[in-house]
Amino acid sequence: GNSVTQMEGPVTLSEEAFLTINCTYTATGYPSLFWYVQYPGEGLQLLLKATKADDKGSNKGFEATYRKETTSFHLEKGSVQVSDSAVYFCALSVNNFNKFYFGSGTKLNVKP
């Protein structure tokens, strides 16, 4: 079936530290991959996406590369800020359909 597995949190980092949140997936067809971010008390917002193998999505200093050989889409940022504190969700859609599958979310806490 289709599913997403991401690392459990919470992840606690100091400001300016390097961030990696791991995400792996299984898909019965051809997946598109997404990272969404949820700030406290708000709905989810798209952070970045990649629609084919070896594509790199990037936004606001965050990056993730679609690795077909390892079925992964890890989220990275070189220097986190306190304002990056949020819950991050990895998600996929399969075969160009609008049906999305979400991971369980990883909470990031950044301390000043």
Compose the 14-33 pattern: x for residues touching other proteins by CB under 8 A, - for all others.
------------------x-
Contacts of 65 (CB under 8 A, 6+ apart): 50, 54, 55, 56, 57, 73, 74
Binding of other proteins by 95 (CB under 8 A): yes
Cβ(88)–Cβ(47) below 8 Å: yes
Compute how many residues bind other proteins; rule: CB under 8 A: 25
Binding of other proteins by 40 (CB under 8 A): no
Q: Of 26, 3, 22, which is closest to residue 106 (Cα–Cα)? A: 22
Binding of other proteins by 57 (CB under 8 A): no
Q: Which residues bind other proteins (CB under 8 A)?
A: 4, 32, 36, 41-46, 49, 51, 89, 93-105
